[in-house]
Amino acid sequence: MAEIILTNANIVLEDEVIDGTIVFASGEIKSVERGRSALPHALDMEGDFIAPGLIEMHTDNMEKHFVPRPGVFWPDPLAAAVAHDAQMVAAGVTTVYDSICAGFVSKEKDFRRTIFPSVMKAVASGMESGAFRIDHRIHIRCELTGDDVVSEIEPWVGSPLVRLGSLMDHTPGQRQWRNLEDLKRYTVGSGEKSLDEHERDVLARMETGPINCARNWPLVVEMFASRGIPIATHDDTTEEDVIAGVASGAVISEFPTTIEAAAAAHRYGLATIAGAPNVVRGGSHSGGVSAADLAKHSLLDGLSSDYVPASLMQAVLTLVRRDGVSLPAAMGMVTWRVADMLHLSDRGRLDVGQQADIIRFRDAGGTPIIRGVWHKGERAF
């Protein structure tokens, strides 16, 4: 692979931004230096920022391509996965953990049961055939209140693509939906359910959820732990939630809903992840704590695009412009900090010997413009 030199660039390192030059070849970074290269084949970056490729550890974006409208199932799973891949690389992501949900608690989300095997097969096919432009891994989100979550994930949890599992409990009255009015606004206000349907559903889930969760939690934890798959908790709200996750071997607290839970996560050694859309919008769509508040209290370790791929870089620039976070610190929340929590030692930093996953971007008044992406040293966008 030919040597590539990017010069006249603002290079974002872990703790500073330098005016410099980066060289990569054979899929890895060879040098990062201050100053500009005079070599004729060096590519002029025109002062654009050069940063590590983004690492996305939780995105639901794949399912939008498998079910583009309610009741519409795209007939070509690989094509749907490739479309998702293109959207992720256009957002600057070079490593993505496709978040696939198992365990279902409502008929409105039952489409996830239908597409689960198709998504798993499509990701495997895309990786094996070289159809993807970036690196894909699987994050299985386990809704523990569902009746059949264990049987659904059992055939797939042994796949080498499965690199993360998360424990979810969406029982009304706790965690994400501790405030029942927030849940009503989310389901009724969106038109997902009528008021009568919502109230019947809440009563049923409050009755069955705790029973199913108590049964499924240890079984799912054992399935992941026995295979060495990292575990994340989901929507921790109290210190007790965090303690339960720690007892199960969790290493990440995804989307803590309160300052209390995020502070407890740090005390017990868990990394915290918040939603990038939360940062961009200025708050949670479901009543949780503002991610900006977590950052202000030094309780935010990483970001996930969740349901908007482009929100990762937009959140980085928002934290810089609105909240006074330095660019290296904000970029760390979507690169090296996430790499560290997922034990990805070969990426996430612009260091010699690291995988050449690199993005070029420009700040257009707070809007990030992705102008180039290299994955393992090859141009992907």
Exposure on the CB side of residue 120, measured as CA atoms within 13 A: 23
- ∠ CA 371-372-373, rounded to 5°: 145
Q: Token digits for 264?
A: 């407890």
Summarised one tens digit per residue, pLDDT across range 139-152 is: 999 999 888 899 99
Does the structure show a pLDDT above 70 at 180?
Answer: no
Q: Which residue has the higher pLDDT, 302 or 189?
A: 302
Q: Which residue has the higher pLDDT, 113 or 351?
A: 351
Residue 200's pLDDT is what? 73
Summarised one tens digit per residue, pLDDT across range 102-126 is: 987 666 567 888 899 999 999 999 9
CATH code of the domain occupying 4-379: 3.20.20.140
Sorted by where each begins, the domain ranges of the chain are 4-379
Provide mean pLDDT across the span 274-288: 87
Residue 193's pLDDT is what? 66
Which residue is it, tokens 């908790």? 233
**Which 8-state DSSP code applies to residue 257?**
-
Residue 146's pLDDT is what? 85
Residue 189's pLDDT is what? 57
pTM: 0.92
Angle at which helix 259-267 crosses helix 239-247, to 10 degrees, equals: 40
Q: Annotate 275-294 with b (16+ C-beta within 10 A) or e (fewer).
A: bbbbbbbebbebbbbbbbbb
Closest CA to 276 of 303, 257, 256: 303
Question: Taken in order 5, 10, 13, 18, is the CA torsion positive or negative?
Answer: positive
Summarised one tens digit per residue, pLDDT across range 303-345 is: 999 999 999 999 999 999 999 999 999 999 999 999 999 999 9
